[in-house]
Structure 1
Amino acid sequence: MSIARFSPFELLLLKSRSQVDTATLLLLAWVLVHRQHVSEGQRRRRLAQVTAQFRHGHELGPVMGIAHSQDLQAIQLAAEVVRKECSKERSLSIIHQAITVATDDGEISLANHYILRFLADLLNVTPATLSTLFQELTGKPLLPPEDPSRDTYWQQHDPEYHARQAQEAQAAERQAKEAQAKAEQRQQAKTDKQQQKQQEKQRQQEQARNAKARAQREKEQRHREKAQQEKARREQAQQERASRERWQQEQARQEESRRQQRQRSSSPPPPDRKTRALAVLGLTPGASRTDVRQAYRRMAQLHHPDRFYSESDHQVALASARFQRIKSAYDYLMQTY
């Protein structure tokens, strides 16, 4: 299978010495990229510290890149690998590491609030256990995260929220008016072009009718030509079958004649038969077995009856007789060598 079918994270898993460590590495990197007020270099150094004992065997850069891209399919795959392979002790260790990298500066981002709860649920760690671990590691309770869908959240964290909302509303109103004006212009243009479109449609219909008529005539012509070609092929095939049948019959008669001759006489061939057989193949005494085989192939190609199927029956019969003499000479010589 081509590697182009795999995603970057799937390729990392395939090359990893420990798929569980690679999956855990991505989940911890996912937590780190949601840390606020932290540089990329600090994130990578912190990830290297936390995962120093991991056995994944690859660089951290590609993992951080996948985490930054928010590739949810890769994160989901990592979660499935971790959930399938981790024991209870390993699950608690992963939660411990996630809390550590999420709260190094004493604060936890809103995104990491939800990520920690997602990881705990994934690894079958109860909310109570998660809160206890968080309290032990940070000295602070894990409070419920604020809801960013409420106006009060943005009023507290973004004082310019309402001003921005008003500006966005005004911009939306202007866009709606502009869209309405453009729609009216498009409608007017559509009305102006209706007659032109109708005329164009009529012209195209006429062209389609003409094209259909031409196509029908061409189809009929092709059909006639195909029928003629098929008839010619059938006639040629019949001729070829008749030629093959005549050749086979001749071969059968000659084989029967040879069989009867062998039955009538068991005396050894005359002393000079080998010389005559070599002469039939165009060879002189002293030719090797390889020479006999090559000469037979050459003569068989030249005098095979199939090469004369288009000639008269007499020509085909002569070709069959020549080929039989060549075949008999070859068979005899192959027995004597």
Structure 2
Amino acid sequence: MPQSADFQKILRESKNPLGTSVLLILSWIALSDENLDKSELEQLNQIAAASKSGSSLEPLLDLIKSRNTYAIRLASQVIKQHFTGEKGKLFLEMAIQMSIADGYLLPSENHILRFLADLLQISKLSLSEVFTEYTGRPLPDYSDPSYATYWTSRSSESKNQSKSHNLSKEDEAMSILGVRKGASMYEIKKAYRRLAQIHHPDKFSTLGDEAKEAAKINFQRIKDAYDYLVAYA
């Protein structure tokens, strides 16, 4: 069977083609660096389990691993058809959540966000504004080789840092909340309140079960980061 038919078959057999398309795009973001770590796989499995599409995650991951651009284009068109206006912006917000879940924004993830913004007819300015709202930092230019390290805010780190770099638990929590090392408890609480409001899972309920579950996972990550910093302050 030609690759172009693989995802068509999956969509035909899906109980919810939109949900299946959302899951594929989230898998694309998670695998954009060609490495799916344990936490990313667990997150995708949770989203797939919450989905009512009936689609298995493994075939979708196989499509991404094989660089099946047809599947990505087809899933993108399904999403474009259903997510217009405010829903389009919400989906972009969810994609940002997935992209920065590990505390980094890598070149491949940056390109995907810009692709999705263009797909959903969201301007570069609006993308940058949403990104800044979510992270407290401006969207890096994708030609800047340093933005993989941008998130750690450590000048002594190499500019070639990748997702494989192991942050300390404190640095990871700081990164998730978008605060710099040495931030006061007031700054940490302020960041948490802001993020808890804009990342609340109920906000994404109109996008379907997959989106709501992804938001729920991200919301819990924010709460865990906050709880850690409060406990060990």
Shared fold per TM-score greater than 0.5: yes
Q: Map 1:261-276 onto structure 2 (within 5 A).
A: none
Does 2:84 match 1:103?
A: no
Q: State the distance in 1 between where 2:139 and 2:47 align.
A: 22
Q: Map 1:105-254 onto structure 2 (within 5 A).
A: 105-146=102-143, 157=160
Q: Is the 8 A contact 2:48 2:55 kept in 1?
A: no
Q: Is the 8 A contact 1:21 1:56 kept in 2?
A: yes
Q: State the distance in 2 between where 1:10 and 1:137 align.
A: 34
Q: Find 2:16's aligned residue among 15, 18, 23.
A: 18
Secondary structure of the corresponding residue to residue 100 of structure 1: helix
Q: Find 2:54's aligned residue among 53, 57, 82.
A: 57
Q: Is the 8 A contact 2:24 2:61 kept in 1?
A: yes
| Letter paired with 1:91 | G
Between Structure 1 and Structure 2, how many residues are aligned? 149
Q: Is the 8 A contact 2:34 2:65 kept in 1?
A: no
| Letter paired with 2:100 | T
Match of 1:82 in 2: 79
Match of 1:7 in 2: 5
Q: CA RMSD in A?
A: 2.7
Deviations 1:257-316 (A, max 9, x none): xxxxxxxxxxxxxxxxxxxxxxxxxxxxxxxxxxxxxxxxxxxxxxxxxxxxxxxxxxxx
Point out which structure has higher relative CO (alpha carbons under 8 A, 6+ apart): 2
Q: State the distance in 1 between where 2:70 and 2:77 align.
A: 11
1:4 to partner: Cα distance: 7.6
1:103 to partner: Cα distance: 0.5
Of 88-97 and 69-78, the range deviating more from structure 2: 88-97
| Letter paired with 1:73 | Y
Distance 1:65 1:42, change over 3 A: farther
Deviations 1:91-150 (A, max 9, x none): 1222112111110121111011111000011011222221122112222211111267xx
Does 2:72 match 1:72?
A: no
1:35 to partner: Cα distance: 4.6
Deviations 1:133-170 (A, max 9, x none): 2112222211111267xxxxxxx649xxxxxxxxxxxx
| Letter paired with 2:14 | S
Secondary structure of the corresponding residue to residue 55 of structure 2: coil
> Structure 2 length normalisation: TM-score?
0.56
Structure index of larger Rg? 1
Match of 2:224 in 1: none
